[in-house]
Structure 1
């Protein structure tokens, strides 16, 4: 399917977007259902010059992505006009001032209060363009103490970790033979995340099957809110016996009291995902969970993700940086934050096929973080899909 495109000219910047379909290598199941493909919106901000760069300077265009948070009712198509509205209020001068980029988040929330992914697309594009304008990889820009200070963030709090070294790989809910086969194919990887939350009998069998197929892998379990407290208590002995090291969002979101009660007696560290959407949600989880999952799409981009990480450190929580089903654009943004996190779950490039953004989807299963070389995110701004583009790039 050819990507749909929107275009708007703003006062000093223009915004181009492309709605693309990300197809999954295997059915991707979790407690809320199963998908085989998902739409995503890619955006590019151009700060004035038609070619995105001065004759003697770097390419200053920035890329971003809105992979919608479906359980919040978001869609990729709805993100396009919202991203346009946000970009219409930006001026190129914002790229020179990290504090202005982070401060723009308040206006973004006013314009797109219910669509964090739309805000994420523009915020990420701003940071990408700011890094490109300086000729720096985004990860280096975010590690600059002066930049963090100017963005109003505590450099000491944000640097309180050695950083995530590898990504986990997801074994999604599926038929038991399929889950076992995928675990066997990924048995050489250091960390596997098992999606559970179907029913107790199935979840027991699935956990056993994955553990048997990948006996040397460290195991983590993500129920995506699909369990009750009784489910967790019933399944815990098996999970402990199998060596599971982490339990993510076992209960439905919205009951932090139940999550806290469960965590008090749970021998496994519990991480919150759906229960923590942005910086304002972090403090309430202090002492209730061991860590939080920071995803750019649900919090609204790099600026609020930095604030979430800082809040987590201030409240004694560990940080897992995760992803939705995203292209290389969103993944590269997540990878730029990995040095500020304790763990990473950035594996969408190994879950998709025919990612339209270079270097494309990756067939080889490897634990390496999806960092890319070059300034900004490392994805060429000129790669934004357009009608008639050639087949997407692929990585062996």
Structure 2
């Protein structure tokens, strides 16, 4: 089994602003495993706020070449690599490869019912309020919109602008660790008035204890605070939703285990993304079949995508087996993008 790895740059349609970062393009790591006529592919962006960069992800993957040549499966990979981008790309590539070998698509191997289109959020970055309103109108096909908030004094106006532009949609917000408990309490009335239905990761991940005893009128979702399976048991009781991302937990294998663990705690499950192409969305789409909330709009932010690509229609996302995870994909098939 051979590994081919490369770092790719994908420009965005618009600069994308969140707490502490502005992106004009994204870098991802694309992996292809080859075993005779069979191949498997995976993609990862890494977890940048933890120092898990595309360069470090690619270096870790390259260091696994000898281990893969001597034989590798998903279970062994979990013990050799920690959660993060490198394990995600390799784990997803192994799932894809196993589907080709077995003649069974990934969703069957994972024990998931035949996939169906899922409602997905469409994300608007932390733009000036007037731009937020314009973006919300531009997303005419969206039935669910998520706003990035940055605690800069304009967040309430951003939320009002989005709701005024789109009174019909499900509306969520993502603080990306940019709030304190005091500033969260301060903005809460505006969020309630705008009928916001979800608040993602308002506080820094090392300040979860500040949420203890906080009763939010809007469900709170753990994102950065929920890195992987081990973190579920330690989450603040203020969270009622967990956002699973394959880059954080290290792939589809652990993501499926996280779904069970989150459900066992009586919490809702969300699947998200670290931005990426359709190749990154496809395995997360499998997880999305088991989730209450789906946030797989990464390719919508790109100026171009891979082919074949994810379909977005009437606010829904659909990933065909032709993108990833199908039962058979000969090694010589051409990759576009």
Output the TM-score relative to the length of structure 1.
0.78
How many pairs were matched up? 333
Contact 1:188 1:214 (C-alpha < 8 Å) held by counterparts? no
**What secondary structure, in the 3-state scheme, does the structure 2 residue paired with 1:90 have?**
helix
In the aligned structure 2, how far is the partner of 1:92 from the partner of 1:71?
A: 33
Q: What does the per-residue CA deviation read over 1:317-363, in whole Å, with 9 as the maximum and x for residues that have no partner?
A: 211010011111111110111112121100011111122x212487x
Contact 2:117 2:316 (C-alpha < 8 Å) held by counterparts? no
Distance 1:330 1:72, change over 3 A: same
In the aligned structure 2, how far is the partner of 1:133 from the partner of 1:283?
A: 36
Structure-2 residue corresponding to 1:81: 59
In the aligned structure 2, how far is the partner of 1:163 from the partner of 1:328?
A: 16
Contact 2:151 2:183 (C-alpha < 8 Å) held by counterparts? no
Unpaired segments of 5 or more residues in structure 1?
1-12, 54-59, 95-99, 145-158, 386-391
Matching of residue 250 in structure 1 with residue 238 in structure 2: no
**Shift in Å at residue 376 of structure 1?**
4.6
Alignment of 1:260-339 (within 5 A): 260-262=212-214, 265-285=215-235, 287-339=237-289
Q: Which has the larger radius of gyration?
A: 1
Distance 1:92 1:167, change over 3 A: farther
Matching of residue 21 in structure 1 with residue 9 in structure 2: yes
Give the superposed CA RMSD.
2.4
Q: What does the per-residue CA deviation read over 1:357-396, in whole Å, with 9 as the maximum and x for residues that have no partner?
A: 212487x6642224123485359664557xxxxxx4xxxx
Contact 2:310 2:317 (C-alpha < 8 Å) held by counterparts? no
Unpaired segments of 5 or more residues in structure 2?
none
Q: What does the per-residue CA deviation read over 1:185-206, in whole Å, with 9 as the maximum and x for residues that have no partner?
A: 124421100110231x300111
Structure-2 residue corresponding to 1:122: 90
**What secondary structure, in the 3-state scheme, does the structure 2 residue paired with 1:215 have?**
coil
Q: 1:219 aligns with which of 171, 176, 190?
A: 171
With 74-83 and 242-251 compared, the bigger mean Cα shift is at: 74-83
Matching of residue 238 in structure 1 with residue 238 in structure 2: no
**Shift in Å at residue 210 of structure 1?**
0.8
Structure-1 residue corresponding to 2:138: 185
Distance 1:351 1:141, change over 3 A: same
Distance 1:347 1:193, change over 3 A: same
Structure-1 residue corresponding to 2:99: 131
**Shift in Å at residue 249 of structure 1?**
0.3
**What secondary structure, in the 3-state scheme, does the structure 1 residue paired with 2:94 have?**
helix
In the aligned structure 1, how far is the partner of 2:75 from the partner of 2:282?
A: 19
In the aligned structure 2, how far is the partner of 1:320 from the partner of 1:61?
A: 30
Q: 1:33 aligns with which of 15, 21, 24?
A: 21
In the aligned structure 2, how far is the partner of 1:321 from the partner of 1:296?
A: 9
**What secondary structure, in the 3-state scheme, does the structure 2 residue paired with 1:290 have?**
strand
Contact 2:171 2:195 (C-alpha < 8 Å) held by counterparts? yes
**Shift in Å at residue 18 of structure 1?**
2.0
In the aligned structure 2, how far is the partner of 1:35 from the partner of 1:298?
A: 19
Q: 1:65 aligns with which of 43, 67, 89?
A: 43
Contact 1:207 1:239 (C-alpha < 8 Å) held by counterparts? yes
Output the TM-score relative to the length of structure 2.
0.91
Matching of residue 196 in structure 1 with residue 164 in structure 2: no
Q: 1:104 aligns with which of 42, 65, 77?
A: 77
**What secondary structure, in the 3-state scheme, does the structure 1 residue paired with 2:75 have?**
helix
**What secondary structure, in the 3-state scheme, does the structure 1 residue paired with 2:17 have?**
strand
In the aligned structure 1, how far is the partner of 2:319 from the partner of 2:237?
A: 33
**Shift in Å at residue 29 of structure 1?**
0.8
**Shift in Å at residue 123 of structure 1?**
0.7
Q: What does the per-residue CA deviation read over 1:40-86, in whole Å, with 9 as the maximum and x for residues that have no partner?
A: 11000012x1xxx2xxxxxx210011212111112212222211223
Contact 2:278 2:323 (C-alpha < 8 Å) held by counterparts? no
Distance 1:299 1:287, change over 3 A: same
Structure-2 residue corresponding to 1:172: 125
